[in-house]
Chain A
Amino acid sequence: MKPSVLIVDDSPAMRAFIRRVLELSGVVMSECYQAADGGEALAVLRRSPVDLVLTDINMPGINGEELVKLIHADEQLNSIPVVVVSTDATEQRVAALLRLGARGYVTKPFHPETLRADLEKVMEAADDRRCRG
């Protein structure tokens, strides 16, 4: 299955970087949507099927933390794995986001290979859930 991916970050440069990592990791995407904040991300999620969300935390409007909460609370969306990509490496922020429903957390700065490894884990776990589900 070719996954469709949504990258949420207010920096176009960071979105381009993450997209390149996905492409070089051999993830053949059916679609790669991009959104600059949580509001735009929700609009994409409500109109298009998405298999994986990667989101920053600090964004204008609906931030990444709120986005994770909203996705988790929505029956239509809560099966979509969300990976947080943020500069905030504090234990309590990481724990809070994972508690809210994020399936992975990558701290910036990161090597492209670190993001690839974390995404592979999250995608495999999501496949397992689907098979069991």
Chain B
Amino acid sequence: MVLKTVIVGMADARVSEEQDSTLITYALGSCVAVALHDPQAMIGGMIHYMLPDSSLDPGKAQARPWMFADTGIPILLDELKRAGATRRRMRVFLAGGAQVLDSSNFFEIGKRNYLAARKLLWKAGLLVKGEDVGGTGSRTVSLRLSDGRFLIRSPAQQERTL
């Protein structure tokens, strides 16, 4: 069987219904990835967003909704629902939100990105199954649809599963 890799870019999101696929996103610094998996419907989705709140730049939010938590996460949840995923079955993972020096110059942007995800998920009625957030390092994360495994790779640590 040929495994298919679906790359989720920065300020991007993907939904996959192919059970031999793996969603992957690279080099999360202060950005956050939210991954959702419905093990029964075998549907998965992942977003890699950069900023917590679209009010920081409404123009950009219009053009690139995946850039912001508050515009991107609701669209991803809608797309997953449309594909046949059910909220009650959904397993949710979070990663990223590191404290890194970046050019955006926003105060504690990693933590604010993380709290934005938590707020939106709580309001949408979703609890988090596992998370790997904060710190100072970069992370690459993947969600394997066949078994719902959420894998994290970072330079200083061995690959781990949540």
Q: Which residues in A have some Cβ–Cβ distance to B below 8 Å?
A: 21, 24-26, 111-113, 116
Contacts and interface: CB of A to CB of B under 8 A. Distances in A.
Nearest to A24: B127
A60 B88 CA distance: 37
Contacts of B128: 111, 113
Contacts of B125: 24
A111 B122 CA distance: 10
B88, B125, B127, B129, most chain A CB atoms within 10 A: B127
Nearest to B87: A24
A102 B125 CA distance: 29
Contacts, number: 13
Contacts of A24: 125-127
A54 B125 CA distance: 21
A25 B128 CA distance: 10
13 contacts: A21-B127, A24-B125, A24-B126, A24-B127, A25-B127, A26-B88, A111-B128, A112-B122, A112-B127, A113-B127, A113-B128, A113-B129, A116-B127
A125 B129 CA distance: 21
Contacts of B88: 26
A24 B126 CA distance: 7
Given A111-B128, A112-B122, 9 more contacts: A21-B127, A24-B126, A24-B127, A25-B127, A112-B127, A113-B127, A113-B128, A113-B129, A116-B127
A21, A24, A25, most chain B CB atoms within 10 A: A24
A116 B126 CA distance: 12
Interface string B37-53: 00000000000000000
Contacts of A21: 127
